[in-house]
């Protein structure tokens, strides 16, 4: 529960920064234009927060190979597919490799809530997928005999297995 509260606080802080208006003129140096947050960025952040919020509802759901629902359990791609369908009405393909071909490929430094993160966990690219939360954390269905959980991308296990990330936007 502490993780969920910390994540929610972090996301709310980011959202309030995104919605903040321009700084008063006396705080902005004349030689540097004030950066603005586009509607697209605000919409993308809102979409990401919806995905993370929906995913958090299923923390603790058992892992099940081939699983695609909270009633039967989830595997990694079944979990991601379910969350995107229920949070944003986006139908994703079933396999991580096919998911990895969608959206906009982004660098690790550009990760935002709701981005898909891919890992090589079984000797091939894109064998595992999760949803980025914030602060180097992602939510996923890890493996048999575990449950949907939040893990750190910089943990000893996942640090060297990260392959890439994509951002999928609702149209």
User: Domain range spanning residue 53?
Assistant: 2-28+39-167
pLDDT at 80 over 50: yes
The more confident residue out of 83 and 10 is 83
Does 159 reside within a domain? yes
Global pTM value: 0.77
Does 34 reside within a domain? no
Mean pLDDT of the chain: 82
Full 3-state SS string of the chain: CHHHHHHHHHHHHHHHHHHCCCCCHHHCCCCCCCCCCCHHHHHHHHHHHHHHHHHHCCCCCEECCCCEECCCEECHHHHHHHHHHHHHCCCCCCCHHHHCCCCEEECHHHCCCCCEEEECCCCCCCCEEEEEEECCEEEECCCCCCECEEEECCCCCCCCCEEEEEECCCC
Write down the catalytic residue from 4, 26, 86, 128: 128
Per-residue pLDDT tens for 26-69?
Answer: 333 344 443 444 445 788 789 999 999 999 999 999 999 999 99
Does 33 reside within a domain? no
- Total number of domains constituting the chain: 1
Does 119 reside within a domain? yes
Catalytic residue list contains 160: no
Write down the catalytic residue from 76, 86, 160, 164: 76
Write down the catalytic residue from 26, 86, 140, 164: 140
Does 134 reside within a domain? yes
The more confident residue out of 44 and 84 is 84
**CATH number, domain containing residue 13:** 3.90.1720.10
């Amino acid at each position: 529960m502490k993780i969920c509260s910390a994540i929610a606080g972090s996301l709310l802080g980011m959202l309030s920064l995104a919605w903040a208006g321009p700084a008063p003129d006396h705080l902005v140096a004349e030689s540097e234009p004030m950066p603005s947050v586009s509607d697209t960025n605000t919409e993308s952040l809102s979409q990401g927060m919806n995905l993370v919020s929906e995913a958090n509802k299923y923390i603790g759901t058992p892992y099940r190979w081939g699983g695609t629902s909270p009633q039967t359990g989830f595997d990694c791609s079944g979990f991601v597919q379910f969350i995107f369908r229920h949070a944003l009405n986006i139908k994703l393909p079933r396999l991580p490799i096919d998911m990895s071909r969608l959206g906009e490929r982004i660098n690790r430094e550009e990760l935002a809530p709701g981005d898909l993160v891919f890992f090589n966990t079984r000797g091939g690219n894109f064998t595992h997928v999760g949803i980025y939360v914030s602060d180097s954390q992602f939510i996923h269905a890890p493996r048999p005999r575990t449950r949907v959980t939040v893990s750190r991308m910089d943990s000893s296990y996942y640090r060297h297995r990260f392959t890439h990330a994509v951002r999928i936007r609702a149209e």
